[in-house]
Structure 1
């Protein structure tokens, strides 16, 4: 199966999506299942994973409702992991088998958030389940992410957007060293996603992004990489189908089984997805 491991849905509200800046003004509208389905059909994608875009239990429940319809096979939601009542909230959320993991927007938090007592207490509860934790950090936060992951060596983590390298500033060396170090942890997989928005959106090319892909391919290997589009955020710099074509081009020299891993099998395995078709 071809799986998009990372996209969003929302009913746009300026107060709730204040991270959508003026330069991304085209995103200031609704993006719903019907539009998603047409994108997946065009790109010949079989199913997808919806990911939280705001830190709200209401949104998590809404995404789970949206996932009752194909093509969404799973949801990465949000919950107040650092809250004292997180265990009971987690128990309630786990009643829905479409919940596959949780994510917190750590890139917006102060340093040492991941290693704080309250957050780690919550992750200890999460680690007692089969739910994945999606790690969303900027490149400069990767060392903290490594220290965080090291506290939970048996739990499954997914690095979102390849650790958000600062492509627009042509920064690769420090990011590369940290990604290679993180990849030494076998419980971490990585999403090939989100690169267009880290580059200059008007001038990027597949050739400019290729060295970053090569780093994660060498570091994680195909069996620990999964494609994600970050739709609709990706549309500020590329179309949905274009991102699929780019990643397919990067993987063209790999074996059929390695291509299948990146284009769907890794996501299916890590998120425990079961069949559907757009």
Structure 2
């Protein structure tokens, strides 16, 4: 089974989805499973992990409801208010839905570099660990240090780094990012998604070779059993097609055996998220 470990659905709302700016016109509309089904089939992808795109409990329920209608959704990464005094109650409520595999907060939008180590947030992570939920790390460079502290303090929590921490490929930024990746990869409870890269490059003038040093560094640090493929569809459409994103990832997989390729394209994601494989 081949799994896209990172994609989104939404009914576009200009106020709620203000992060989708005017220069992202290609995605300022609704994106639902009916828009994705044919794309998955033509690319040999069997299912997806649907990840939250807005921060509300209603968003989590929206993804759960879609999963009851579309078998392509193999797992949901929702949102829950991890800083709430009632986080345990909220997590317990969502535990009634086996399709929910984990949760995410859009930390990249938080200006506080120490957001991930706020006492209230760490309490929320403990609530996820207690229920064996995963947590997706979506960060920017200002969060590197606190990410390492958060992960170190939660050795029983399963983390996955979204979009390889979004290196600034358009300006060839590498060294600071590479050092962070080396440090994060030393924690065995952390996986990494090879996803979301094309939007960090020059949207109109990228080449496949632009991404290779970044992907190959992640492979060297995390190994072949803790990385997984994801597209970040439909966000990727501002700069590339679904096919382009698959090519970007596939071209960088030098020296992979058939077993390694099976792991990258699906088995690792299934193991991390607890999807029947």
TM-score (normalizing by structure 2): 0.97
Deviations 1:193-218 (A, max 9, x none): 01101111111111011000011000
Alignment partner, residue 99 of structure 1: 100
Question: Which range moved further: 132-141 or 246-255?
Answer: 246-255
Q: 2:116 aligns with which of 98, 114, 117?
A: 114
1:252 touches 1:259 (CA, 8 Å); kept in 2?
no
Superposed, which structure 2 residues align to 1:139-178 within 5 Å?
139-178=141-180
Partner of 1:63: 63
Instruction: Give the CA deviation at 1:111.
Output: 1.6
Worse overlay, 82-91 or 135-144: 135-144
Give the aligned partner of residue 75 of structure 2: 74
* Unaligned stretches of 5+ residues in structure 1: none
Task: Please provide the CA RMSD for this pair.
Answer: 1.0
Secondary structure in 1 aligned to 2:219?
helix
> Which digits, 9 at most, give the CA deviation of each residue in 1:45-72, with x for residues without a partner?
0110000001011111000111122100
3-state SS of the aligned residue for 1:201?
coil
Aligned residues: 275
Detail structure 1 runs of 4+ shifted over 6 Å in the superposition.
Answer: none
State the secondary structure of the residue aligned to 1:133. Answer: strand
Where 2:225 maps in the other structure, the secondary structure is helix
1:269 is paired with a residue whose SS is helix
Deviation at 1:185, TM superposition (A): 0.2
**For 1:212 and 1:192, how far apart are their aligned partners in 2?**
9
Q: 1:21 is matched with which residue?
A: 21
Which residue in 2 is equivalent to 1:198? 200
Q: Distance in 1 between matches of 2:131 and 2:207?
A: 41
In 1, the alpha carbon distance for the partners of 2:76 and 2:164 equals 19
* 244-253 vs 230-239, which moves further: 244-253
Greater relative CO (CA pairs within 8 A, separation 6+)? 1
2:228 alignment counterpart:
226
Instruction: Give runs of aligned pairs for residues 122-271 of structure 1, distance below 5 A.
Output: 122-271=124-273
SS in 2 for 1:155: coil
Shift of the alpha carbon at 1:274?
A: 2.1
**Equivalents in 2 of 1:254, 1:219: separation in Å?**
15
Please state how far the C-alpha of 1:222 moved relative to its aligned partner: 1.1
Offset at residue 37 of structure 1 (A): 0.9
**Which residue number in structure 1 is paired with residue 41 of structure 2?**
41
Instruction: Give SS of 2:205's match.
Output: coil
Q: Please, what TM-score do these two structures have when normalized by structure 1?
A: 0.97
